[in-house]
Chains A and B, each alone.
Chain A
Amino acid sequence: MTRELTCIVCPMGCGLKVELDNDKIVSVSGNTCPRGKQYAINECTDPQRTVTTTMRCDGGVVSVKTDHTISKDKIFECMTIINSYFAPLPIHIGDVIIKDIFGANIVATQNKEAAWTIN
């Protein structure tokens, strides 16, 4: 069986072809870098995604992400956990807010000193 994928590792969006024998990967083609090959393998075994979203904080929201990819089928569970949290202020890029959700930490991707106001 052949599976065709669009690589999401970088904006080039290479078209990948994965030859599968049942669930075993026989070969990957179409990639232009080693990371593309790894992506194709993951995609056929355990697809991985980075989750980027916001978390509630005093006066609004602050942007956060998983510092590693997590299993694609855990995205919504991950969102539910993030949505139940409240980020402390001040907060800075890279600060870990939640440790070890599905193998990744939730880190801030924005600096926020105090409650956001229009002025």
Chain B
Amino acid sequence: MTDLVIIGGGPAGMSAALAAYESGIRDILILERDAALGGILQQCIHNGFGLHKFGQELTGPEYAWKYEKRVHELGIPYKLNTMVLDITYNKVITATNAEDGMFEIKAKAIILAMGCRERPKGALNIAGTRPAGIYSAGTAQKLVNIEGYMPGKNVVILGSGDIGLIMARRMTLEGAKVQAVCELMPYSGGLARNIEQCLNDFNIPLKLSHTVIEIHGKERLSGVTIAKVDDRRKPIMSTAEYIPCDTLLLSVGLIPENELSKSADIELSSVTGGAVVDQDRQTSVSGIFACGNVLHVHDLVDFVSDEAEIAGKCAAEYINGEKCSNISVNLKTDGRIRYTVPQRITQKKDITVYFRVSDVFRNVRINIKNGDKTVFSKKKNKVAPGEMESIQLKAELLDGVSELNLELEEV
């Protein structure tokens, strides 16, 4: 029996491990499927990480190293190249690696920190051929930054998520010509700063309300046809335009990787794709916690670390028998606010509620309502789907309440 098993040794897994350690847990094991700790940060060699946590602009590997160093110093055990195959409701983990073969571990508590994956091309049903030269932005990032190889020289990017924007600049720096970034929505899914420093700095056009409608080329990609879309996101055929290119990168969304959560019968949210959790990031299965991009896709790793610290600390409380629940409040949203994390509150304390919105709104109020009564209200100049927002919920607002509604009001 192991006190705490953490699945995933990326930023979430390491932060959670450190927080649990600081809360007195010593019997910890991190299981990491890659050959090194750090997760996806290893290939995110651009800067912009750590402003919240460290007041510094760090690159991904530097940010990860801050945590990895602590893991080494504290001697927290981890297994690399280890793939978890199954988790049960009873917290039995089945994993495999080269040294141990297939093995089982029973844990008192589990923290899920498996991260997310990119939505692939196949899911988009783009017409045309199926040549080489089409990669998700993250795969291209790995090829360029880790392997040191160029996926192509003449690039179109579909989707303006942050990885797509970052790769537009990265490919440009390495000598490729990035012809355009097409975004299906009328707004970008990435951070404003990335549009500025990754596209505008290099005069790369961002084509909003555009998509790729056809792929050309038999063996290697030879071009794509793009078109403007109407407000129902249907292509307007008269606007079709052929762009010759040898590479198409896709940055069309991230999906929390919750196959293991399903095997443990954990309740998942159809909006986030991650588990439904309480303020402690405990899932519907007691003793199983989730944090980071496996719970919901974050915009900044700093928030991943914050969230993982909560999960690590609360998993420690759970192991020590200190986790208590004394209330039950469900947080509901109005659709304009797509989701909140946590979705439910079981303990009366001050809580930061994270949320994302469904569209770009300016001059809004975020209202929290108990029935018809607004119990909290906060003004925001601008909110956008690409950016995670948060509000502080005071403990006293939770008195005698079973449900709170988060609403977005345009003023």
Direct contact of A and B (CB under 8 A): yes
Chain A interfacial positions (CB closer than 8 Å to B): 5-11, 13, 15, 49-54, 56, 60-61, 63, 65, 72, 75-76, 79, 93, 109-111, 116, 118-119
B45 lies within 8 A of chain A by Cβ: yes
**Given A11-B300, A53-B173; A63-B45 close (CB under 8 Å):** yes
Q: Which residues of B contact A116 (CB under 8 A)?
A: 146
Residue from the set A6, A8, A10, A61 with the largest chain B CB neighbour count within 10 Å? A8
Convert B50-84 into 0s and 1s, putting 1 for each residue whose CB lies closer than 8 angstroms to a CB of A: 01000001010110010000000000000000000
Q: Confirm or deny: B396 has a beta carbon within 8 angstroms of a beta carbon on chain A.
A: no
Q: Top 7 A-B pairs ranked by shortest CB distance? A: A13-B192, A61-B148, A63-B45, A8-B193, A109-B59, A6-B196, A110-B61
Q: Which residues of A contact B129 (CB under 8 A)?
A: none
Q: Which of A7, A52, A79 has the most CB of B within 10 A?
A: A52
Partner of A6, one of B144, B146, B192: B192
Q: How many residues of B contact A (CB 8 A)?
A: 30
Q: Does B147 contact A (CB under 8 A)?
A: yes
Apart from A65-B47, A76-B173, list 15 A-B contacts with CB within 8 A: A5-B196, A11-B300, A13-B191, A13-B193, A13-B196, A15-B192, A51-B173, A52-B47, A52-B59, A53-B173, A54-B148, A60-B146, A61-B146, A79-B174, A110-B42
Closest to B200 in A: A6
> Are B191's CB and A11's CB within 8 A?
yes
Sampled A-B contacts (25; CB under 8 Å) = A5-B196, A6-B192, A6-B193, A6-B195, A10-B193, A11-B51, A11-B299, A11-B387, A49-B201, A50-B57, A52-B46, A52-B59, A53-B170, A53-B173, A60-B147, A60-B148, A61-B145, A61-B146, A63-B61, A65-B45, A75-B173, A79-B174, A109-B59, A109-B61, A111-B65
